[in-house]
Amino acid sequence: MVQPRMGGIQEEEHPSVRLFREYLRIRTVHPRPDYDGAIEFLEKLSIELGLPCKKIEVVPGLRVLILSWEGTNPKLKSILLNSHMDVVPVFEQHWRFDPFAAQKDEEGNIYGRGSQDMKCVTIQYIEAIRRLKLEGKRFPRTIHLSIVPDEEIGGRNGMEKLVESEEFRALNIGFALDEGLANPGETFTVFYGERNVWWVSVRCPGNPGHGSRFIENTAGEKVRRVINSFLDFREKEKKRLNQSECLTLGDVITVNLTSLKGGVAYNVIPDELMAGFDIRIPPAADLKAFEEQMKQWCQKAGEGVVCEFLQKSTCDKLTSIDPSDPWWSAFSNACRQRDMTVQCEIFPASTDSRFIRQIGYPAIGFSPMNHTPILLHDHNEHLNQKVFLTGIDIYTHLLPALACVPPLAGEA
């Protein structure tokens, strides 16, 4: 494939970039992601690279793909490189280009849903392994690639089911890499834990009646009190973040009103209204105390107001970033050898890493994208091809470091 350049000069596109753009064009977008198309594409790559490929049906109709590069000592615990196939919906009218055309502009920016979150990382894993294999390299530890569905809708029918399976236990995981975030500056952000996700529905019953009257004890009055309590707390946490140079977004509790439901007609006071909130809580926070606080807000709002959970994670596990930890030492030393500055944080949203950490495996969230605006789930999501290619170089350096970690206590 040949791409035009300024002044009429033409340049042959890098094959890794071409592959990345091809993957972006597969419409794995919710609510009807083309998982079959993605799996077919990735299976072809596994054949090209000579990597055994296994499909695991975690729930009826949903499959996880596992590609494996066996180490010279397969009894040692393995390295897991995780990524997800699915992407979030788009509002096409706000995009500069078709979000599923993988258009590249004159500056080398590749536009597409999933360009940052996280189809780039999948291809970077694969292309790094391709380079290492072409160089004739092999390492003591086996490297597995897991490519999962449904991460963008909570991972309940993807990674959560996978980690419960016998097939996952058979992978003998020692350490995992998963997605991170872009960083607009020189630094690369690394995530060693993440906030818990609480999706909360607060139901507010009240007295119905005609819209022309002053009905007492209405659902509207109650839902207003609920919203005020939740959003007043939001402002306090926002202020705490903005006034501290030490805190990052992952260190505070965010509360956002994301839905309001109820009512049947403009002239009818409803008998119930519902407010939905997206709440993200750091692993160091007192979860029981915060849940009790929400109950108090509901009680204060009025009789019958109840809080229901649609999602409630409670993981407080963190991956060690102590210099004495062998996995972190291998990762951080490899970064230093490339003169990379890393900044360790708690991930502000949620990824499949939480399921991996929850069952006791160390996992780091890392997407090698510095000098890049954070555009996951945003309009005009894009990644520059130079940043993408540098990411492959980084993984080509990182994977040998991790796969060569000496045998640990209890390993063969």
What is residue 2's predicted lDDT score, i.e. its pLDDT?
38
pLDDT average per 10 residues of sequence, the chain (412 residues): 41 93 98 98 98 97 97 98 98 97 98 98 98 98 98 94 97 98 97 96 98 97 98 98 95 98 97 98 96 98 97 93 98 98 95 95 98 97 98 98 95 76
The residue written with tokens 């709002």 in the block is 301
What is residue 6's predicted lDDT score, i.e. its pLDDT?
39
User: Which residues span the domain enclosing 240?
Assistant: 196-312
151 is catalytic: yes
What is residue 11's predicted lDDT score, i.e. its pLDDT?
65
Domain CATH number, residue 40: 3.40.630.10
What is residue 12's predicted lDDT score, i.e. its pLDDT?
86
Q: Is 85 exposed, middle or buried (0-12, 13-18, 19+ CB in 10 A)?
A: buried
Catalytic residue, chosen from 117, 127, 151, 160, is 151
Q: Do 305 and 213 have their domain in common?
A: yes
The DSSP-derived string for 225-283 is HHHHHHHHHHHHHHHHHHT-SS--GGGS-EEEEEEEEE-S-TTEE-SEEEEEEEEEE-T
What is residue 412's predicted lDDT score, i.e. its pLDDT?
64
Q: Within a domain: residue 336? A: no
Q: Do 211 and 283 have their domain in common?
A: yes
pTM for this model (two decimals): 0.91
Distance of alpha carbon 386 from alpha carbon 370, whole angstroms: 11
What is residue 49's predicted lDDT score, i.e. its pLDDT?
97
278 is catalytic: no
Q: Do 148 and 249 have their domain in common?
A: no
Domain CATH number, residue 225: 3.30.70.360
